């Protein structure tokens, strides 16, 4: 249903430009990654960043920049990931915006992969308490269970499943295979229940690596 809505909306922006197009494209790109359509996700991510290139509003640019940084990181383009995450964190430091949503999780993933977690952690400490920031702080401290539990309590169930998938990557990288398998069990169950074949394949690959 959600995918059908964004697929219907986006073509109309060519004739009737609207400020929410970048966020709509990021929304679709997140679904495309879950489905395993990386090329189309990259296309939407690039277009979203292009659309906010001259926009000084943090609320408009944070999702496109964080998502693009995350996608660069997932595809191994760490130089580009760092360029985007630095751009995002500079803007956040300047605006001190309290607008928080899934972009914070994607910023963490990119910051982890580019060794910029210390800066992200420092900026979180300057902000008022917020559940999104608490979840990311737990990810930074590698308290993955607390992060996923908090996201579930917030109602961000898909974000919790994604956090568990990313946690499993870290755990496999650090040869903590038993812990990785535990996180993967919950994550895979969710992705399978929503027919997210891309994340399912990714989780199964990690499960094999953790065996």
SS (H, E, C) 167-181: HHHHHHHCCCHHHHH
Distance CA 166, CA 150 (A): 16
Ramachandran quadrant class, 115 (left: phi over 0; alpha: psi -120 to 50; beta: rest): left
3-state helix, strand, coil in the chain (%, to 5): 75, 0, 25
Which residues of the chain register pLDDT less than 70? 1-19
**φ, ψ for residue 176, nearest 5 deg:** -105, 75
Q: CB neighbours (10 Å) of residue 125?
A: 9
pLDDT, tens digit (0-9, with 9 covering 90-100), for 196-208: 999 999 999 999 9
**Per-residue pLDDT, 20:** 72
Instruction: State the DSSP string of 13-65.
Output: TTTS--TTHHHHHHHHHHHHHHHT-HHHHHHHHHHHHHHTTT---HHHHHHHH
Distances in Å between the alpha carbon of 70 and those of 89, 112, 142, 193? Answer: 13, 10, 18, 24
- Structure token pair of residue 21: 């197009």
Distances in Å between the alpha carbon of 108 and those of 39, 82, 113? Answer: 23, 12, 9
Sign for the CA dihedral angle at 156, 159, 165, 171 comes to: negative
Distance CA 107, CA 86 (A): 10
Map out the domains of the chain as residue ranges: 1-120, 142-211
**Radius of gyration for the alpha carbons in the chain, expressed in angstroms and rounded:** 17
Distance CA 165, CA 149 (A): 14
Distance CA 124, CA 170 (A): 21
**Per-residue pLDDT, 56:** 77
**What is the assigned CATH class of domain 1-120?**
mainly alpha
């Amino acid at each position: 249903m959600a995918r059908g809505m964004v697929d219907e909306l986006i073509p109309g922006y060519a004739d009737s430009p609207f400020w929410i197009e970048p966020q709509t494209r990021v929304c679709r790109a997140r679904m495309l990654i879950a489905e395993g359509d990386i090329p189309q996700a990259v296309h939407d991510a690039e277009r979203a960043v292009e659309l906010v290139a001259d926009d000084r509003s943090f609320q408009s640019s944070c999702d496109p920049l964080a998502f693009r940084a995350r996608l660069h990181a997932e595809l191994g383009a760490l130089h580009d990931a760092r360029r985007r995450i630095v751009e995002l964190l500079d803007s956040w430091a300047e605006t001190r915006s309290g607008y928080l949503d899934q972009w914070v999780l994607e910023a963490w993933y990119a910051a982890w992969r580019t060794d910029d977690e210390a800066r992200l952690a420092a900026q979180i400490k300057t902000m008022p308490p917020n559940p999104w920031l608490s979840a990311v702080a737990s990810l930074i401290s590698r308290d993955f269970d607390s992060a996923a539990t908090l996201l579930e309590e917030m109602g961000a169930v898909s974000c919790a499943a994604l956090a568990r998938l990313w946690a499993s990557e870290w755990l496999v990288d650090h040869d903590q295979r038993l812990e990785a398998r535990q996180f993967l069990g919950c994550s895979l169950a969710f992705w399978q229940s929503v027919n997210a074949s891309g994340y399912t394949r990714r989780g199964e690959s990690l499960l094999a690596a953790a065996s």
